[in-house]
Amino acid sequence: MPDGDPQLKPRTLRDPASLVQAGLARPEAEPGLRRVAEHFAMAITPAVQALIDRDDPADPIARQYVPDVAELVTRPDERSDPTSDAPFTPVKGVVHRYPDRALLKPLLACPVYCRFCFRREVVGPDGGLLTEAELETALDWFAATPTVREAILTGGDPLMLSARRLAHIMGRLSAIPHLDIIRLHSRVPVTAPERVDDRLIAALSTDKAAFLCVHANHAREFSPAAKVALRRLSQAGVTLLGQSVLLRGVNDSSQALENLFRAMLSTQVKPYYLHQLDRAPGTARFEVPIEEGRALLRGLRGRISGLAWPTYVLDLPDGAGKAPLGPDFAAIKDGEWQVEGPLDGVPYQHHSRHTNSENSDS
């Protein structure tokens, strides 16, 4: 059976000309976007295209994926490797920065290419698939490093691997006695949910504790198909977590964050991290200042379920790690703890029980 007219079948958009054809960029923008495409990969899957409201020039879905000439401007404080993966790479495809856990990056391809990506200098459709030999060396490194209790599959997007290769990796990791946890970070369930089929679910099977952290930044990304994909993963025994990036024009209001976290919870996804933007080249248009991020989260505390509350983190440069950014509700004032009530905003004194000469035994 022929597929029918290819024009009618939605396809992943991978270049500026097809963006214009799909009505997602104006024809006069094409030359500029072609220059952007020389530097950074682009891809917008059919599932994501279907989420975009073409009548809204500020559409929060389009903003995440449609390139912009602003990406050609790199600021002095932007770095090509903002999270410093390179110096913490013992063997190709592994990043070991914390004692008890390490990343495995089996490929650098993603279903979509986010315009704010912190690894935008390295991700791309042709990039970074480890060879069989490199993958075996990386897996051997996990087997030979007993301090590591958790393997974190990332990339790129590990759910872009073939089911066969994913099953091989899961099998090798599952056989390593000192590993307790296998965690995957993926954007596939919301941007290419059709990939979460029986073979992929079977490939994820493991006796280890399995977590999948889904990257989503807007409530609308939880489409009916995405919810089905996530439901299948949770039914397969995978604990679902959510990670989001705080992004100007996408989720930079208390209401947008509330909607996002509620959409996650209703799909059995526990919001885990809200990331401060990493300063990768050409991403300045997405940055929300930390003080604003803290105020947004402060406005949500008490108003939404405690289950919805993520940890707001900044990945420090030079491999110093991800640091929580608050907001804090407690501060020391005149030697006493002062704790702000999330419901009323009123400061409450919490008297310290000092261990001092009065109540010591001496």
Just list the catalytic residues: 97-98, 101, 110, 114, 117, 119, 278, 315, 322
Nearest residue (CB) to ligand PLP, 42 versus 214: 214
Could you say which of ligand PLP, ligand SF4, none residue 187 binds, taking C-beta under 5 to 8 angstroms by partner kind?
ligand SF4
C-alpha dihedral sign at 22, 23, 28, 34: negative
Residue with tokens 């990056």: 105
Six-digit token string for 55 = 């009548």
Q: Which is nearer to ligand PLP, 152 or 196 (CB)?
A: 152
The candidate with the shortest Cα–Cα distance to 276, out of 264, 289, 285, is 289
Q: Which of 180, 184, 235, 236 is nearest to 208 (CA)?
A: 180
Residue 117 contact among ligand SF4, ligand PLP, none, beta carbon within 5 to 8 Å by kind:
ligand SF4
Buried b (16+ CB within 10 A) or exposed e, 277-310: bbbbbbbbbbbbebeebbebbbbbbeebeeebbb
Query: Given the complex with ligand PLP, which of 163 and 181 has the nearer CB atom?
Result: 181
Q: Bridge partners of 315?
A: 322
Return the structure tokens found at 322: 């991800």
Question: Between β-strands 269-275 and 311-316, what pairing exists: parallel, antiparallel or unpaired?
Answer: parallel
The least CB distance from residue 65 to ligand SF4, in Å, is 9
Taking the complex as a whole, how short is the minimal distance between the CB of residue 247 and ligand SF4, in angstroms? Answer: 11
Q: From the list ligand SF4, ligand PLP, none, pick the one residue 182 interacts with, judged by a Cβ distance below 5 to 8 Å according to partner type.
A: none
Minimum Å gap between C-beta 262 and ligand PLP is 22
For ligand PLP, give the closer residue by CB, 63 or 185.
185
Q: Which is nearer to ligand SF4, 156 or 242 (CB)?
A: 156
Residue 300 CB, nearest approach to ligand SF4 (Å): 23
- Residues forming contacts to ligand SF4 in the complex (CB under 6 A) are 110, 113-114, 117, 119, 123, 156-157, 187, 215
Q: Give the CA distances from residue 334 to residues 39, 339, 342, 344, 351, in Å, rounded to whole numbers and listed in that order.
A: 54, 13, 22, 22, 11
Alpha helices in 122-253 (DSSP H): 132-143, 163-174, 188-191, 198-203, 224-235
CB of 190 to ligand SF4, least distance (A): 10
Q: Helices 132-143 and 163-174: crossing angle, nearest 10°?
A: 20
Q: Which is nearer to ligand PLP, 304 or 316 (CB)?
A: 316
Strand partners, 316: 321
* Partner that binds at residue 103, options ligand SF4, ligand PLP, none, CB closer than 5 to 8 Å by kind: ligand PLP
State the Cα–Cα distance between residues 308 and 211, nearest whole angstrom.
17
Chain positions contacting ligand PLP, by CB under 6 A: 83, 95, 97-98, 101, 103, 152, 322
**Least distance between ligand SF4 and beta carbon 14 (Å):** 13
**135/133 Cα distance (integer angstroms):** 5
Contact 303, 314 (CB under 8 A): no
**Any residues with CB less than 8 A from the CB of 108 and at least 6 apart, and which?**
119, 122, 123, 124, 127, 128, 129, 155, 156
Q: Which does 211 bind (CB under 5 to 8 A by kind): ligand PLP, ligand SF4, none?
A: none
**Of ligand SF4, ligand PLP, none, which one sits near residue 123, judging by CB under 5 to 8 A according to partner kind?**
ligand SF4
